[in-house]
Structure 1
Amino acid sequence: MAFGKQKVLILGPLLPLSVAKILRALAQAENPGLLILGKQAIDDDCNQTGQMVAGLLKWPQATFASKVILDKEKQEVTVEREVDGGLETLCLDLPAVITTNLRLNQPRYATLPNIMKARSKVIKKVTPQELNVEIKSDLEVVEVTEPPKRKAGVMVSSVDELIDKLKTEARVL
């Protein structure tokens, strides 16, 4: 996991809260004005880390950003996000946490001089212990069971028969 000029060395699986605690510690150490995170993890499909980081840091957040406009003079960021009813625009004071939507990305390809400059940058490696973050599972799996088997469906030949079965057997009408 890389953050700014630091790289965290972790062995084993991480849950969203552990990742959020690591990111909080790194944000407190480096004091960034803006954290931009992905929408959800690809390993467990959770959509939690960005919101947890914002909560731990007590920073404002905008989720599912499809457009971001940064105003350094006013120290604020305007975020356009997709919601069920269309688009929503939020204005946040910095520092803030933003999670992204797939429409935000317009890839830029690195030029050779910038690749060479990046190679010469020093990345400090730190462990969670050096950040005073304990990596532990806050969840315990008590039991895993299969859902009950569904009963076979019944074919009906007409709408009248369907209504009759819904009234008499299912008692939903």
Structure 2
Amino acid sequence: QAIDDDANQTGQMLAALLDWPQATNASKVEVQGDHVQVTREVDGGLETLSLTLPAIVTTDLRLNEPRYVTLPNIMKAKKKPLETLAPADLGVDAAPRLKTLKVTEPPTRSAGIKVPDVATLVEKLKNEAKVI
């Protein structure tokens, strides 16, 4: 589950930042040496892509069958040590790459008006708004 509200942006943005190949909505993934075969559903059926590794692959719900955690496994997991890594430990530069120059509110909109009939609406669109 991505942090982008299921808008399919995170994987694509990461691929662009890293300049790596990408495949989105994968329903089947097969790694073959230094390549990966990705099958995805498209409007006309299935599409198979071959990417060189390293690559970014985002997945579809059909990729696997979810497993449900049992209570004994939850208890075992609580006892396992949790390793915390900083981005620098992985050789990743987490410095901000964007700079906000300024933030301003949009201009306030004027109140709308009610028109009595279609003829008046057309006349106002034509003469005042000049959109038709």
User: TM-score band, normalised by the shorter chain?
Assistant: 0.5 to 0.7
- CA 1:40–1:104 in 2, change beyond 3 Å: closer, same or farther? farther
After TM superposition, the structure 1 stretch with the greater mean CA deviation from structure 2, 115-124 or 92-101, is 115-124
What is the Cα deviation at residue 138 of structure 1? 1.1
Larger Rg: 2
- The one-letter code of the counterpart of 1:60 is Q
Q: Which runs of 5+ in 2 are unaligned?
A: none
Kindly, what percent of the aligned residue pairs are identical?
A: 43
Greater relative contact order, per chain length (Cα 8 Å cut-off, separation 6+): 1
Match of 1:162 in 2: 121
Counterparts of 1:148 and 1:105, CA distance in 2? 49
What is the Cα deviation at residue 109 of structure 1? 0.5
Counterparts of 1:102 and 1:157, CA distance in 2? 52
RMSD: 3.7
The 5-angstrom pairing of residues 38-117 of structure 1 reads 38-41=1-4, 48-55=9-16, 56=18, 58-62=20-24, 65=25, 68-71=27-30, 75-80=36-41, 89-93=46-50, 95=53, 96-100=55-59, 107-111=66-70, 115=74
Q: Which runs of 5+ in 1 are unaligned?
A: 1-37
